Chains A and B, each alone.
Chain A
Amino acid sequence: MGGKGTSLRQYLLTRLLLVIPMVFILLTLVFLLMRVAPGDPISASLGGRVPQEEVERIKAELGYDRPVYVQYVEYLGNVLRGDFGTAITDSRPIGDIIRENGAATLELTFFAMIVAIVVGVTFGLLAGRYRDTWIDGGGRLFGILIYAMPVFFLGLMAQLFFGSYLGWLPTSGRASPLVDATLVTHTNIYTIDTLIDRDRDAFVDVVKHLILPAVTLGLVTAGVFIRLIRVNVIRTMKDDYIEAARARGIDERSVVYHHAFRNALVPVITVVGLTVALLLSGAVLTETTFNWPGIGKTLISYLENRDYPAVQGIIIVFALVVVVVSVVIDFVNAYIDPRIRY
């Protein structure tokens, strides 16, 4: 890097080049963890349940009897071609799992992110602006409590209160059994599918199912936003240009809203990127709590069945999603803030 005329394009190129070793290391880590550590995945998955000859036959068929380095090269090749493998237990290709269950996770995390941003930015800005007042105290206490709340515990309490006690909202699944059975899937994102078919009742049903999981996951993620935005606002308010703006006689309200908040929110884009990893972790727990058939819940059920190839495939996809998001976030940041691409 470096040089005198570092342009945006140059920055993007270097950033993209840095992705290659990162992806390579991630893929290698996953391979080492999932393939080398347990020996071979077929014995680990089927051992004890199927006769030994059968295990050997499947091993030979899938190529697990060859030397590890040959498997490694082939594995890298397959992943690069977009082939993430096939589950042993139910023979579902990982690609299909991503398309179907991934859509459910995408729907959940998207709405959770909206909840998180709205709640987090509001409380974070207020707490930072009115530092050491009751607003700051309340905002921070909320931030800390919500951070301390495991997402599955918050989900359980929401189920108890809104589901069992009040009976307002459904607590499990993506839709009622009838809607689920009759729904025509275009995108596997139910809110969009029902809108495409202009089915109002189904849409309401789907949204009702979405509220508890999305708000639960969103609130928990909001805790991170509150803490970081608060610190950012405090830091920004100490900057020289704020003092300069005050010295120019600009009124305090304008200083805060136009000068401080805008700059305090730039790092939020980075935080959104970092939160995606957090959201995915949270999604695994939220999906398990609310019986939401997303990719996290699928992963857990494959783990229970000791289906190593499926687990490996899903984990690679998770890792790639995080890498892609972090690159996109860096691009957006470099575009907005010229200081980053120095």
Chain B
Amino acid sequence: MTIPAQVERVPPRPRRLVAVRRVFAPIGDARGMTRWMLWVGAGITLAFILVALLAPVLAPYEFDQFRTPEEGRFVQLEAPSRDHLMGTNVQSTDVLSRIIWGTQTELKVVLISLFLSISFGVPLGLLSGYFGGKLDRVLVLVMDALFVFPFLLLAIVIAFLLADKVGQGIFTAAIAITVVYVPLYFRVVRNHTISIREEPFVEAARALGAKPFTIIRKYVFFNVVQNVPPLATLNAADAILTLAALGFLGYGIQPTEGAEWGYDIQRAVSDAASGIWWTGLFPGLAIVLLVTGLTLLGESLNETINPVLRKRRYEKVSLAPPGVAEAEME
């Protein structure tokens, strides 16, 4: 069977991808420092995701393993050696293994809490911003009250209260972190929705008789959702710090449930007086590296997607004569 030549057409692109592509389109235009930050950040983040996925292969021991059947119990607080590349801690567990397994814990908690805070914060923000009125006023007051509260205290109190009822696992930590971040998404989405609501194209849709939910879904949502990827990435970085802080204060993941970097650093504080550095340094570096990666990624996404900060390829218009303009750049 022969196919007529004129049928050869480019198939239409799926619609969803168009929207996603539109949100991320400016990334290709990123230049200079921003481009560098974007790639380094993405690289570090990806590396940690791989470590988390491959933890069973990569980790030399289990996160709570303190002995092997052949060699017996590991030496306590052993300096970095061949068997234990980053040494052992006071409980004789391998520091490197705890860091690798810890990557899994951190990412799990962050993913759950991001998912929860976006799925509460974004819809609430959309509704509150679009409809306004009493609902808006009440929500804004409650969210502002949560927002002014010192975030760590809020997380500690939630974790402390949940610890009695749910236990100190990944879920408790994720919920404690969620409560802290819902107001953030709510605020950003609400304020943006309010400004979008007054745009001519929304007005036009309303004039054509579109229902409120149709307007929110088709016109407001995609304009507002642009803010979410950079915010969520920066937020992920912050969530890791909050989780580590909870762990450091003893309200994070229970040691029997999984390895967590903040908890390890807390145990290392008492080692510092005797000059033992490996128990604290390595988990800390893991936090710094992961948070740095996410921050670089988030900030560069923000700079490329956020039109206020966006800097594109085009030449800068300068009113000064050429010589002066060059001198300025120095």
Contacts and interface: CB of A to CB of B under 8 A. Distances in A.
Interface of A: 21-22, 25-26, 29, 33-34, 37-38, 44, 132, 136-137, 140, 144-145, 147-150, 152-153, 156-157, 159-160, 163-165, 171, 227, 231, 234-235, 243, 246-247, 252, 277-278, 280-282, 284-285, 288-289, 299-300, 303-304, 311, 315, 318-319, 322-323, 326
Interface stretch (B55-63, B113-121, B204-212, B242-250): B242-250
A10 to B, nearest CB: 20
B10 interface: no
A132 B324 CA distance: 18
A281 B241 CA distance: 12
B7 interface: no
A213 B218 CA distance: 52
A25 B140 CA distance: 11
Given A234-B309, A252-B324, A289 B150 contact: no
Contact of B244 (A37, A145, A150, A299): A150
9 contacts: A21-B141, A26-B148, A33-B158, A132-B32, A160-B281, A277-B149, A285-B249, A303-B251, A318-B153
Nearest to A299: B153
A315 B153 contact: yes
B149 A303 contact: no
B148 A22 contact: yes
Given A311-B157, A318-B150, A136 B288 contact: no
A157 B149 CA distance: 29
A322 B120 CA distance: 25
Given A147-B295, A243-B319, A285-B248, A280 B272 contact: no
Given A132-B32, A153-B284, A289 B269 contact: yes
A282 B249 CA distance: 12
Contacts of A252: 324, 327-328
B161 interface: yes
B173 interface: no
B317 to A, nearest CB: 10
Contacts of A148: 237, 241, 287-289, 291-292, 295
B130 interface: no
Given A22-B148, A252-B324, A281-B153, A145 B288 contact: yes
A326 to B, nearest CB: 6
A60 to B, nearest CB: 24
B267 to A, nearest CB: 11
Nearest to A289: B269
A280 B164 contact: no
B277 A38 contact: no
A29 B299 CA distance: 33
A160 B33 contact: no
Contacts of A140: 33
Report which residue of B141, B152, B161 has the largest number of chain A beta carbons within 10 angstroms of its beta carbon: B152
B151 interface: yes
B152 A303 contact: no
A267 to B, nearest CB: 14
Contacts of B308: 235
Nearest to B275: A164
Interface of B: 32-33, 141-142, 144-146, 148-153, 156-158, 160-161, 164, 237, 241, 244-245, 248-251, 262, 265-266, 268-269, 272-275, 277, 280-281, 284, 287-289, 291-292, 295-296, 299, 308-309, 319-320, 324, 327-328
Given A159-B272, A164-B274, A153 B288 contact: yes
B153 A157 contact: no
Nearest to B164: A38
A327 to B, nearest CB: 10
B152 A284 contact: yes
B148 A150 contact: no
A213 B295 CA distance: 25
A18 B291 CA distance: 37
Contact of A153 (B237, B249, B250, B265): B265
A304 B163 CA distance: 12
A326 B144 CA distance: 12
A262 B274 CA distance: 48
B287 A150 contact: yes
Given A153-B280, A160-B277, A285-B249, 19 more contacts: A26-B149, A144-B292, A144-B296, A148-B295, A150-B244, A150-B288, A156-B268, A234-B309, A235-B309, A243-B319, A252-B324, A252-B328, A282-B152, A284-B156, A288-B248, A288-B249, A318-B150, A322-B150, A323-B148
A277 B280 CA distance: 27
Contacts of A227: 299
A110 B265 CA distance: 26
A128 B150 CA distance: 28
Contacts of A280: 150, 153
Report which residue of B32, B157, B164, B281 has the largest number of chain A beta carbons within 10 angstroms of its beta carbon: B157
Nearest to A134: B33
Nearest to B290: A148
A307 B148 CA distance: 24
Contacts of B288: 145, 148-150, 153
The 6 closest A-B pairs by CB, nearest first: A281-B152, A148-B291, A153-B284, A25-B145, A148-B292, A280-B150
B170 to A, nearest CB: 19
B151 to A, nearest CB: 6
Report which residue of A153, A281, A285, A326 has the largest number of chain B beta carbons within 10 angstroms of its beta carbon: A153
B241 A22 contact: no
Report which residue of A132, A136, A227 has the largest number of chain B beta carbons within 10 angstroms of its beta carbon: A132
Given A156-B280, A160-B272, A171-B273, A281 B151 contact: yes
Nearest to B241: A150
Contact of B157 (A33, A235, A247, A278): A33
